């Protein structure tokens, strides 16, 4: 029975009287027909342009027939690992296997392979030798040229070389996929489709490459870290759709991987059209017996307001993926979706989020970006807000006020994160007032990440004085409103530039604040970020200056332990770190000390009553945040970046 979802099985294909699909879409996620999932956007967009799409979700990669259930597509196979890089999905920063996959029915781990895009493509090639394969999604996008792979600790080739795919779509993908589909449908051979912005292809015909910048060859960047850093920065400076150049990377045997300039951002009308497609807004009903798909709970009652981020954090891949130019949906589009949400049987009156990578970015940083793009070597907010920055929350405020007035809506929350430096750059504090008054539920999550200006400089984050000013104003505003609301700061350990000395400095800051975070993220070197380049090369690619990097697992453990120095299980690591850094003065009973001079055994474990019976353990206090461990925050951030087949969706600061 046709239930409104796209075909997911041979039976669906037969029911719709489809003899051959135009595209067969192989994905590493469960099929969720919601615009927060890349496969939903790309497949619905193709459908809207008259193309048929059959979905193969999480095929058995050990069985080659698993990708042949529909036969050969008329135009091409589409392949994506899913809303996240499969390696981030599978492994924590310590390279331990995760226990849960939120994008799989029932949260079961192990339903997709490591390096899923490559594995799926090789599986297809076993049966279909010549059928075009187009790859996209965040895994492909961030591995489009030579890249450092943390999990193998190697510099890997472009994923085009290892996958055997014909064309890679990077970035968000809506423009690219339709242009590719139309080219294939017109009869153009896939090897001749070399002209689509936002794509990468490989060729042996050097003479056909024009108007291009040649990067160092793969063999050079693989052997020399300085060359790698230089090549990476050339790529970083060519990620803008208005100023980005065509890039070429040479491989042995006269093979050239060519990255065309980025696709232009969607207009507001185009973005509205994408979100108005007939999504079912939930997972396929066949997953109900397994308990559904956990990831839907994060987005089911949330609204994607914008894309892109001009924040420019070094550890985030948004510059490479969604770009720095903000694209926003219209109020009408968002209000229509919100109205639709209120009719869901599970809606309780709460819109969980209205945001994107950064919630309070609703327009390009300056008018120049609309015609000339973002500055290649300058940041909009770092090290200080640019004099051309237009910091204005009026449009966002207007949108939030309209959403609050919708019948059945009790509260509208903002969970995808705000840039506090952008908020402070706006001379009008109305947004701060209404944020505290209407859009915070007791706690507001913010991301200072560190408090050492030396480390913050490497992170591309504002100085600690800016965060302190925000803390002060947030507290004052809540007092004025008569509310008891708190800040939950996200912090990161072992980021390039952070030594044990800076970690101790952060611990002292937390001591003075009277706060111990429940969530701490060790720096995770994911593909194609400035921070990952620093981690691998020991050089800041922006300046080519040396950067201290903590590689030793024991030192990384000490840095992390210092952030949670009150936790008894961290005592030995904290003590060792304090002694190593010459801070024995912080060991003692004084109020300025971090730990006592000896490890005190918890009473709950060793205290006994006078009758000789063991005393009841004191119950642990509830964690400050209801979210999962901060390591999963890296997963969520990458998921939100990946909003379409050739890109990828959760909060970015």
What average pLDDT does the segment 520-537 reach?
96
What per-residue confidence (pLDDT) applies to 600? Answer: 59
Q: What is the pLDDT of residues 141-189, one digit of tens each?
A: 999 999 999 999 999 999 999 999 999 999 999 999 999 999 999 999 9
Q: What is the pLDDT of residues 37-84, one digit of tens each?
A: 999 999 999 999 999 999 999 999 999 999 999 999 999 999 999 999
Q: What is the pLDDT of residues 22-36, one digit of tens each?
A: 999 999 999 999 999
Contact between residue 573 and residue 564 where contact means Cβ atoms under 8 Å apart: no
Which of the four pLDDT bands, split at 50, 70 and 90, describes residue 515? confident
Determine what percent of the chain is predicted with pLDDT higher than 90.
88
Structural element, H or E, at residue 447: strand 443-449
In the three-class reduction of DSSP (H, G, I as helix; E, B as strand; rest coil), residue 309 is classed as: coil
| Alpha helix stretches (DSSP H) within 205-261 | 218-223, 225-236
What per-residue confidence (pLDDT) applies to 589? Answer: 94
Of residues 148 and 488, more confidently modeled? 148
Q: What is the pLDDT of residues 71-118, one digit of tens each?
A: 999 999 999 999 999 999 999 999 999 999 999 999 999 999 999 999
Backbone angles phi, psi at 59, to 5 degrees: -65, 155
C-alpha to C-alpha distances, 220 to 149, 152, 212, 215, 223, nearest whole angstrom = 16, 19, 19, 10, 5
Q: Which of 288-297, 538-547, 632-641 is the least confident region?
A: 632-641
Percent of the chain as helix, strand, coil, to the nearest 5: 35, 15, 50
Selection from 163, 166, 159 nearest residue 144 by Cα? 159
Structural element, H or E, at residue 250: strand 246-251
Structural element, H or E, at residue 213: strand 212-214
Report the alpha-carbon distance of residue 575 to residue 230 in Å, rounded: 40
Q: What is the pLDDT of residues 359-392, one digit of tens each?
A: 999 999 999 998 999 999 899 999 999 999 999 9
pLDDT above 70: residue 646: no
pLDDT above 80: residue 446: yes
As a whole number, the mean pLDDT across the chain is: 92
What per-residue confidence (pLDDT) applies to 270? Answer: 97
The first and second tokens of residue 370, run together, are 């609309």
> Up-side HSE of residue 10: CA atoms within 13 Å toward CB?
8
What per-residue confidence (pLDDT) applies to 519? Answer: 77
What per-residue confidence (pLDDT) applies to 601? Answer: 62
What per-residue confidence (pLDDT) applies to 614? Answer: 40
Which of the four pLDDT bands, split at 50, 70 and 90, describes residue 127? very high
Q: What is the pLDDT of residues 594-628, one digit of tens each?
A: 999 987 565 554 444 434 444 333 333 333 333 33
What per-residue confidence (pLDDT) applies to 632? Answer: 45
């Amino acid at each position: 029975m046709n239930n409104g979802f796209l075909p997911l099985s041979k039976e669906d294909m037969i029911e719709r009287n489809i003899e051959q699909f135009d595209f067969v879409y192989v994905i590493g996620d469960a099929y969720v027909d919601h615009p927060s999932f890349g496969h939903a956007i790309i497949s619905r967009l193709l459908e809207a342009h008259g193309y048929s799409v059959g979905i193969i979700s999480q095929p058995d990669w050990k069985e080659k027939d698993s990708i042949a259930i529909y036969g050969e597509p008329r135009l091409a196979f589409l392949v994506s690992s899913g809303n996240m890089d499969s390696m981030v999905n599978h492994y924590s920063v310590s390279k331990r296997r995760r226990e849960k996959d939120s994008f799989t029915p029932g949260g079961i781990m192990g339903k997709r392979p490591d390096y899923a895009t490559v594995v799926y493509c090789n599986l297809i090639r076993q049966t279909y030798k010549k059928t075009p394969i187009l790859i996209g999604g965040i895994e492909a996008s961030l591995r489009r040229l030579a890249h450092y792979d943390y999990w193998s600790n190697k510099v890997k080739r472009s994923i085009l070389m290892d996958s055997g795919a014909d064309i890679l779509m990077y970035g968000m993908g809506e423009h690219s996929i339709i242009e590719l589909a139309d080219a294939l449908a017109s009869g153009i051979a896939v090897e001749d489709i070399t002209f689509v912005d936002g794509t990468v292809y490989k060729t042996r015909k050097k003479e056909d490459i024009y108007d291009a910048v040649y990067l160092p060859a793969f063999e050079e960047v693989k052997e020399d870290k300085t060359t790698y850093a230089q090549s990476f920065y050339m790529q970083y400076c060519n990620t803008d759709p208005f100023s980005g150049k065509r890039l070429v990377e040479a491989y042995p045997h006269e093979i050239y991987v060519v990255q065309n300039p980025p696709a232009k951002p969607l207009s507001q009308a185009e973005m509205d059209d994408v979100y108005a497609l007939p999504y079912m807004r939930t997972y396929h009903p066949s997953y109900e017996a397994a308990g559904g798909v956990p990831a839907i709970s994060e987005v089911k009652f949330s609204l994607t307001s914008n894309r892109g981020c001009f924040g420019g954090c070094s550890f985030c891949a948004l510059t490479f993926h969604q770009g720095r130019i903000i694209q926003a949906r219209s109020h009408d589009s968002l209000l229509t979706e919100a109205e639709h949400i209120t009719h869901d049987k599970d809606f309780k009156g709460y819109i969980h989020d209205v945001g994107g990578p950064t919630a309070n970015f609703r327009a390009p940083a300056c008018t120049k970006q609309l015609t000339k793009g973002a500055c290649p070597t300058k940041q909009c907010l770092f090290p200080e807000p640019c004099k051309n920055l237009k910091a204005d929350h009026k449009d966002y405020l207007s949108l939030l006020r309209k959403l609050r007035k919708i019948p059945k809506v009790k509260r509208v929350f903002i969970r995808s994160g705000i840039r506090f430096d952008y908020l402070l750059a706006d001379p009008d504090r109305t947004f701060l007032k209404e944020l505290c008054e209407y859009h915070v539920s007791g706690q507001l999550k913010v991301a200072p990440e560190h408090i050492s200006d030396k480390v913050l400089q490497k992170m591309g984050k504002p100085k600690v004085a800016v965060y302190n000013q925000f803390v002060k104003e947030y507290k004052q505003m809540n007092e004025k409103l008569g509310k008891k609301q708190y800040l939950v700061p996200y912090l990161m350990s072992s980021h390039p530039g952070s030594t044990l000395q800076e970690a101790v400095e952060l611990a002292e800051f937390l001591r003075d604040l009277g706060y111990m975070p429940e969530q701490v993220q060790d720096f995770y070197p994911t593909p194609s970020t400035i921070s990952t380049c620093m981690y691998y090369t020991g050089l800041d690619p922006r300046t080519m200056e040396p950067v201290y990097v903590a590689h030793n697992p024991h030192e990384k453990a000490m840095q992390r332990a210092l952030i949670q120095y009150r936790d008894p299980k961290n005592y030995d690591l904290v003590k060792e770190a304090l002694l190593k850094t010459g801070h024995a003065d912080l060991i003692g009973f004084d109020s300025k000390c971090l730990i006592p001079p000896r490890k005190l055994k918890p009473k709950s474990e060793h205290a006994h009553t006078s009758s000789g019976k063991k005393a009841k353990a004191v119950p642990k206090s509830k964690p400050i945040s209801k979210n999962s461990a901060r390591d999963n925050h890296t997963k969520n951030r990458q998921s939100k970046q990946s909003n379409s087949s050739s890109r990828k969706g959760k909060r970015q600061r």
